[in-house]
Amino acid sequence: MFLGAKKVFFNLFFISENKITTPDNLFLDIICRFEFINVMFMNKAKKPWPTKDAMEQVYEMNLWGGHPSSFYSGMGSHDPKITIPYITALTTFLTSFKDPLIVCDLGCGDFNIGKELVSLTKKYIAIDIVTDLIVYNRKHFKQENLEFHCLDIATDNIPNGDCAIIRQVLQHLSNTEILSILKKLSGFKYIIVTEHLPEGNFIPNKDIISGQGIRLKKQSGIDLLVAPFNFKIKEKKQLVSFSSNSHKGIIITTLYTLF
């Protein structure tokens, strides 16, 4: 009915307003105008907010929880059931090398996790997009082999290293930004990625607008090895996983060895 009404609307509107003289035509005109406006608004693409602005808002408004006066990167960085097995797994990996690695933490957050790993590395380069967060981290975490940089890892050049850690970061980013990041990882030997995924079967890599939310609400999650990413690796190994009734889905940490 509405498709036909729209056609009538355009005929009436563009030919002559004076043709609408009867109550029936007037009612139809009102419906057509309303539907036309509705379609225009519904079809208007949602404009992405810049990722830096979105992530700064997350911390300014404590959208991931925590005390209003502090930076807080969410339960995934603070729940001991999640953090202790993760730190243990990365400790085992990082200490398996005779010569300590240069590690780049791409999305270091409030550094509750990273601070436990710095001493295990030759150099630990911690990166985040949120300016005030990096200022805070520089003030509160000081070690000789530790550096903090405020960078957008999707658009800025990232430092060189042996191992990149990307912990629950990609899940917040659009596919376009993820593709941009993956292109910059070829210089690393190891990539350690942690992602929050649906349990069981799911359709991977549904696109989202970068920000607070993740693909879990779309019953989707990141799989770097399939389209549109098709990330080329030499070897893949799951380091640790966590699931519970209080955390929907499963949090999986995977070690990728590159060629």
User: Could you read off the pLDDT of 197-206 as tens digits, one per residue?
Assistant: 999 999 999 9
Residues 165 and 251 in one domain: yes
Phi, psi of 106 (to 5 degrees): -90, 90
Strand order in the sheet with 247-257: 146-150, 123-128, 102-106, 163-167, 190-197, 247-257, 235-244
**3-state SS record for 92-143:** HHHCCCCCCCEEEEECCCCCCCHHHCHHHCCEEEEEECCHHHHHHHHHHCCC
User: Could you read off the pLDDT of 91-107 as tens digits, one per residue?
Assistant: 999 999 999 999 999 99
Query: What's residue 28's pLDDT?
Result: 43
Among 36-50, 117-131, 207-221, which stretch is predicted with the lowest mean pLDDT?
A: 36-50
Residues 65 and 15 in one domain: no
Phi, psi of 10 (to 5 degrees): -65, -40
Residues 145 and 235 in one domain: yes
Residues 214 and 128 in one domain: yes
The pLDDT confidence band at residue 46, using thresholds 50, 70 and 90, is low
Q: Quick one: which of 228, 164, 172, 161 has its CA closest to 195?
A: 172
Q: Quick count: other Cβ atoms within 10 Å of Cβ 179? A: 15
* pLDDT score of 161 more than 60: yes
pTM for this structure? 0.82
Residues 113 and 68 in one domain: yes
Residues 217 and 189 in one domain: yes
**Which residues are CB-neighbours of 133 under 8 A, at least 6 positions away?**
59, 71, 109, 110
Residues 127 and 26 in one domain: no
The pLDDT confidence band at residue 45, using thresholds 50, 70 and 90, is low
Residues 155 and 192 in one domain: yes
Dihedral angle sign, alpha carbons of residues 187, 191, 194, 198: positive
Q: Residue 98 and residue 117: Cα distance in Å, rounded?
A: 16
Q: What is the arithmetic mean of pLDDT over 140-152?
A: 98
Residues 250 and 198 in one domain: yes
Percent of all residues in the chain with a pLDDT value above 70, rounded to a whole number: 82
Whether residue 216 contacts residue 196, with contact meaning beta carbons closer than 8 Å, is answered with yes
Residues 171 and 121 in one domain: yes
Our count of domains for the chain comes to: 2
Q: Residue 27 and residue 31: Cα distance in Å, rounded?
A: 6
What is the DSSP code (8-state) at residue 46? P
Helix 51-60 crosses helix 131-140 at what angle (to 10 degrees)? 60
Query: What's residue 47's pLDDT?
Result: 72
* pLDDT score of 39 more than 60: no
Q: Within 13 Å, how many C-alpha atoms sit on residue 43's CB side?
A: 6
Structural domain that includes position 193: 51-257
Whether residue 7 contacts residue 13, with contact meaning beta carbons closer than 8 Å, is answered with no
Query: What's residue 8's pLDDT?
Result: 38
Q: Quick one: which of 125, 103, 151 has its CA closest to 255?
A: 103
Residues 130 and 23 in one domain: no
Residue bearing the bigger pLDDT, 135 or 18 = 135
3-state helix, strand, coil in the chain (%, to 5): 35, 20, 45
Q: Quick one: which of 178, 135, 172 has its CA closest to 153?
A: 178
Residue 37 has which token pair? 């406006």
The CATH number given to whatever domain includes residue 161 is 3.40.50.150
Q: What is the arithmetic mean of pLDDT over 176-204?
A: 97
Residues 36 and 142 in one domain: no
**Cis preceding-peptide flag for 228 (omega within 30 of 0):** yes
